Structure 1
Amino acid sequence: MTGTPSTDGIYPVVILGHVDHGKSTLIGRLLHDTGRLPDGKLAELEAAAKRRGAALEWAHVTDALQLERDQGITVDTTRIWFPTAARTYQIIDAPGHAEFLRNAVTGAAAAEAAILLVDIARGLEAQTRRHAYLARLLGIRRLIVAVNKMDLVDYASARYTQVTTELEGYLSEIGLEADFMVPISARHGDGVAAPSADMRWWTGPTLLQALDALPDTAAPRERALRLPVQDIYRRDDKRILVGRIEAGRVRVGDTVDIAPGGQQAKVAGLETWNGAVQLAATAGESVALTLDKPVFVERGHVLVAPAAPAAQSHAVAVRLFWLDRTPLKPGDRLTFKHLTASYPVTVEAIRHLVDVETLAEQPADEVPQNAVADLVLRSTRPIVFDAHDEDAVTGRGVLVRDYRVAGGCLLLEGADTVKAQNITAVSTSVGPAERAAANGHLGGVIWLTGLSGAGKSTLAMGAQSLLFSRGWQVTVLDGDNLRHGLNRDLGFSAEERAENIRRTAEVAKLFADSGMIVVVSLISPARADRAAAREVAGAHFREVHVRADLSVCEARDPKGLYAKARAGQIPNFTGVSAPYEEPEAPDLVIDTGRDSVEAALARLVDHVDQQFGRGTASLRLTGGIAAG
């Protein structure tokens, strides 16, 4: 009897191939020949065939829709659990008709292995090539080719050799290799579950034996940790992260990085439903774990091994199989679903189309339906991934348009890497020493961080005025001003704040490299983001914590933001509904709740002078500067 067994040890296999090549017939025959049909199903099929005045069709075992019965095609994926002595399979019958390739992608994306069905009489057709390419595109590494309808060529070995030779050549060109190629006749049962008396020349396995001989595709335990976060639950005072380990292993006490963002924490414990003690888990297991500190984590984040981080990029190069009737064009906006994350993305560039017949690359301004193309996607949030050649699971995803799967793709590499291949850095004609000699000071980045209302902007503008009056080259990068221009496309999610800080740091570095003092005024609440900014700016970077108690900042409320946040009008407001992580080891702390503006400004300018003034005396402050 077929049914739905435990999900433990399930081996999902997708059946792919051109329409009418016999996929559903194969499944029905396989179930019948191994005694796995439900009780009464055979009698039901025979009665239905008699009423229609037609021969019994094994495809009707899986073709549940009347449309399919009437037209003799499969339009939706059908899943049947099929146990053998070796293992339990989840057989996925994916549509072969060109109009229904979207459902084939849905089925193939969940599979560990594929059976590619080829009609011996019709040979390697375009749709068969597309399905083979699709298997490669979705990272399927285990492949059985079932050469069907051998009865139509009188079970001739010569025709079998001709077709399989042609297919082997194509598979090799797209980077696939079949584990087995098996001649069968699904309608008559030859070579499916038992050897065929009409193919005594065939000494290889039956299709069922080939399935059972596929190597176990258990998740790679020895690779670096990749644990996508599926959800976060709260139990009492615990925040419990749940997800499936895609690669590697995790143990209590392990240090993990949370990507994107670079926050780091230790695994405090592994939770179990019955309270049993669990100290470790490996790839393929679903886990619930707690961390030793309250770092920001949400669905779509990935826990990774610090020694082997995943790639993170706002722009990624992908190889796409496009399914939507509306062609894909540069500038189109879609949703990229990858692991447990959903990223809003824009098509930045179409690099070329790939001809699935010849594999030649062709320039194009758009990607038509059922075409394969290499293109660049840009996301407002960093995409965490591994290149598909390194990991087939974390290196693939799907594109969604209007809530429908519109394409499947392989992640090739970060697009910044792609661009860098054709870019050569140009050396500056004026070096740091020459700029310092002319300016009388070095270039530097003074990064002011603190709560809204702590006085960052007041100190930044005051320092700019004093340093400028002294003849220094100085500018201010203020968070609000940047969001009116450079960063106007960014919101206030954790990922978008991280990108806001990254862009600001890159600009600050350019100014500092040109010999300027850059005073940055940003709340920048996350330590990891400030650490990333320090990494970008390098030796130029100095972190200054402009400190003031929340009550002091809220009492000042110079922009009325705290009042709006308390009224629920501003979500994720730092200090009210979002956390602020104070610097652990800043280069300077200025307490504006204790010091006057003049005293705070004197400390800041003295610090700038000591760090970048090349030994010149500290500034003497004259007059006062009103707080803004």
Structure 2
Amino acid sequence: MAHQDALISEDILAYLKTQEEKSLLRFITCGSVDDGKSTLIGRLLWDSKLIFEDQLAALSNDSKKVGTQGGNIDYALLLDGLQAEREQGITIDVAYRFFSTDKRKFIVADTPGHEQYTRNMATGASTADLAIILADARKGVLTQTRRHSFIVSLQGIKNVVLAVNKMDLVDYAEDRFEEIKAEYAEFAEKLGLENITYVPISALEGDNIIEKSANMDWYQGPTLMNHLETVDNTSYLHESPFRMHVQWVNRPNLDFRGFSGSISAGIVKPGDEIRVAPSGKTSTVKTISTFDGDLPSAEAGQAVTITLDDEIDISRGDLLATPDHPPAVANQFAAHLIWMTEDEMLPGRRYLIKMGGNTINAQVSELKHKINVNNLEHLAGKTLELNEVGYVTISLDKELPFDPFEENRHTGNFILIDRFTNATIGAGMIKHPLRRATNIHWQALDVDKESRSEAKNQNPAVLWFTGLSGSGKSTIANIVEKKLHSMGKHTYTLDGDNVRHGLNKDLGFTDADRVENIRRIAETSKLFVDAGLIVLTSFISPFISERRMARQSVAENEFLEIFVDTPLELCEKRDPKGLYKKARAGEITNFTGIDSDYETPQTAEVILKTADLSAEEAADQVIEYLKNNDYI
């Protein structure tokens, strides 16, 4: 390595000790394309003499082959490691680098500038203590400068540096720097960004990176490295109320029961009273244990095991907190949400949410508005597309503890996860809890589902017919109901077309409206089942997620998915309403099977191959299943 501390050769243990005791700063570089983010980090590593000898040789060779500096050293290649990045001269993925100086350790994330990679930038910002936002001195504050600044503000990053780069290309002009500074300050004020440091630099030439620039003697502020080494990034965490998510209940033997996790805010000492959320139970800290022994106190950033004086019920996912400043506990909250996948966000669809150590079911109840990240304007919308930001309400299956994100970014954030692919699809920042009306509660009724079912001499159930338009769902469901009626059974049919004349007449056929359509039908079906009826539903219901949601709304044995499996060609040939013909002609959009997907059932109880069955035969097959499984 080009740089070595003398302690490495003289006293390796002392060297390791000094490294361990250094504070750590995580920061990101962000901004528009070609503002010089990768070059800046490469220059920091180069001028700090923190590059291995083999890296120097490889960098020299790569600069001649794929560099953008005419054969001279291209510092950006230290970060742009993907072949596509080198070919295009851009950053695509987030590149992380660790380095240290005599004063501090650093982890830097180089994030992409292109709009389509905004989700990658948001990922890099999620753990950062400081953001360096670059602006090209020739171009000033651009759309992506504003976009990334907005995400930085959403992510709760307290310290921001606006690095006006490429000052060498504007002859190191002070008035140009002041012009960009004023423009950015006006926008930053709208975002609530306060701790902003403005530094004029040339990443390529090294001006104001490590050493003060002789070319800009008019600048009296710190160099970039000096600011990174001295900025305070932890005091607000130590001053905040104590918080620690329980990651593990540590029970190695009968004599020890501790609660392990990383302290996200505040300070704790033996003898301190703590409160457990969501239960609200309280106790006193007995010991603070680590691998190296017990501690007299612990603070934000430390991983510890806490034991208590009392044997109270605490589980993974619970939040230990100070009693006089407890977290919120609720099953609904408002939040800003960054959408991070190609599939649009659909209100009403069920997702998984991960908050702290908890992973439970959740749904976006409502999209209040989308946010134009360029001018912060609120926009109406029903869904969120990739990289869009919205203000939403989230509903959870149970109450969880949390803080508003602006108070504690560690206990106020969450991610949304796709229930089928387990992919992270959204990142959120909690604004405030929402409370249900306290005067609403479940009313106890003397006549319940069991007594209603017994009086009708049947087991209530939902017969959920699904399939393409023209598959014969409504026809078969109608025949099944007639057969059940002739047997003296109590039934009701909810048909896709019929409910759109009343209950769902306000809904169209977008994916978002289809999700809401099925949500309402599932809730209505649940009420019919509670009344002891056999309810038949006939809906295309194209999405697996919504059919699963409908299944989970009733008891496990009360939902039968009946897949009317009819090939698209046969459905088009039948085309009783002429809808396929109109869809092919472009007169109808979002038509299932043509320009909107149908997700084939994977676990249907009954599959009706109507290419080989008449409607009567298909209905008999359903009746036979009901008899064989004691529904009738």
- TM-score computed with the length of structure 1 as normaliser: 0.64
The whole-number CA distance in structure 2 between the counterparts of 1:181 and 1:261 is 46
Report deviation, 1:288.
0.6
For 1:344-423, list aligned pairs within 5 A. 344-401=361-418, 402-416=421-435
Number of the residue aligned with 2:282: 264
SS of equivalent to 1:179: strand
- Structure-2 change in CA distance of 1:236 and 1:124 (3 Å): same
Percent of aligned positions that are identical: 33
- Assess if the C-alpha contact under 8 Å between 1:349 and 1:376 holds in 2: yes
Shift in Å, 1:6: 4.3
Residues 145 and 178 of structure 1 are in contact (CA less than 8 Å); yes or no, is this contact kept in structure 2? no
Does structure 2 retain, via aligned residues, the 8 Å contact 1:179–1:214?
no
CA positional deviation for 1:22? 1.1
Q: Which amino acid aligns with 2:425?
A: A
* Aligned-pair CA distance for 1:109: 0.8
Q: 8 Å contact 1:18–1:128 — kept in the other structure?
A: yes
Correspondence for 2:261 among 243, 259, 270: 243
Note if 1:15 corresponds to 2:29. Answer: yes
1:118-133, aligned counterparts within 5 Å?
A: 118-133=135-150
What does residue range 12-51 of structure 1 map to in structure 2 within 5 Å? Answer: 12-51=26-65
Structure 1's 395 and 480: CA in aligned 2 closer, same or farther, altered over 3 A?
farther
> How far, CA to CA, are the matches of 2:354 and 2:41 in structure 1?
30
Are residues 249 and 196 of structure 1, via their aligned partners in 2, closer, same or farther at CA, if it must alter by over 3 Å? closer
Deviation digits for residues 87-142 of structure 1 (CA, Å, limit 9, x no counterpart): 11111112222222222222111111111111122222222211111111111011
Alignment deviations for residues 27-51 of structure 1 (CA, whole Å, 9 cap, x no partner): 1111111211212433322222234
Matched AA of 1:67: A
Q: Give SS of 1:246's match.
A: strand
Measure the CA separation in 2 of the matches of 1:474 and 1:239: 40
TM superposition shift of 1:475: 5.7
CA distance in structure 2 between the partners assigned to 1:474 and 1:57 by the alignment: 73
The residue aligned with 1:287 is: 304
Alignment partner, residue 572 of structure 1: none
- What is the 5 A alignment of 1:497-516? none
For structure 2, list consecutive stretches of 5 or more residues without a partner in the other structure. Answer: 5-15, 452-460, 462-632
SS at match of 2:361: strand
Q: What's the offset of the Cα at 1:403?
A: 3.0
**Per-residue deviation, residues 216-256 of structure 1 (Å, max 9, x unmatched):** 42463343221111122221112321111112222334332
Q: Which residue of 2 aligns with 1:74?
A: 91
Q: Deviations over 1:169-188 (max 9, x none)?
A: 11110111343111111111
Alignment of 1:306-345 (within 5 A): 306-345=323-362
SS in structure 2 opposite 1:346? strand
Gap change, CA 1:196 and 1:270, over 3 Å in 2:
closer
Q: Pick closer, same or farther for the CA change 1:164–1:264 going to 2, 3 Å.
A: same
Q: CA RMSD in A?
A: 3.1
1:111 aligned to 2:128? yes
Contact 2:371 2:379 in 1 (8 A): yes
Higher mean C-alpha deviation, range 236-245 or range 288-297: 288-297
Per the alignment, in what secondary structure is the counterpart of residue 327 of structure 1? coil
Cα displacement (A) at 1:18: 1.7
- Relative to 1, partners in 2 of residues 1:165 and 1:40: Cα closer, same or farther, differing over 3 Å? same
Check conservation: 1:343, 1:383, Cα contact below 8 A: no
8 Å CA contact retained: 2:22, 2:104:
no
Distance 1:69 1:7, change over 3 A: farther
Amino acid at match of 1:416: R
Measure, in 1, the Cα distance between the counterparts of 2:450 and 2:310.
31
Please, what TM-score do these two structures have when normalized by structure 2? 0.63
| SS class of match (2:39) | helix
2: CA distance, partners of 1:325 / 1:7: 43
- Alignment match, 1:158: 175
CA separation of 1:222/1:128 partners in 2, compared to 1, >3 Å: closer, same or farther? Answer: closer
The alignment status of 1:255 with 2:273, answered yes or no, reads yes
Distance change >3 Å, CA 7–CA 128, structure 1 → 2: farther
Q: Deviations over 1:402-427 (max 9, x none)?
A: 4333333221111228x89xxxx99x
Once the two structures are superposed, residues 43-99 of structure 1 have per-residue CA deviations (whole angstroms, 9 ceiling, x without a partner) of 322222234584331111122222222222222222222222331111111222222
Contact 1:13 1:91 in 2 (8 A): yes
- 2:62–2:77 contact (8 Å) kept in structure 1: no
> Displacement, 1:204?
2.0
Alpha-carbon separation, structure 2, partners of 1:390 and 1:289: 24
> Do the aligned residues in 2 keep the contact of 1:137 with 1:409 (CA within 8 Å)?
no
List alignment gaps of at least 5 residues for structure 1.
Answer: 427-444, 448-472, 482-487, 489-628
The Cα of 1:294 is off from its aligned counterpart by 4.0
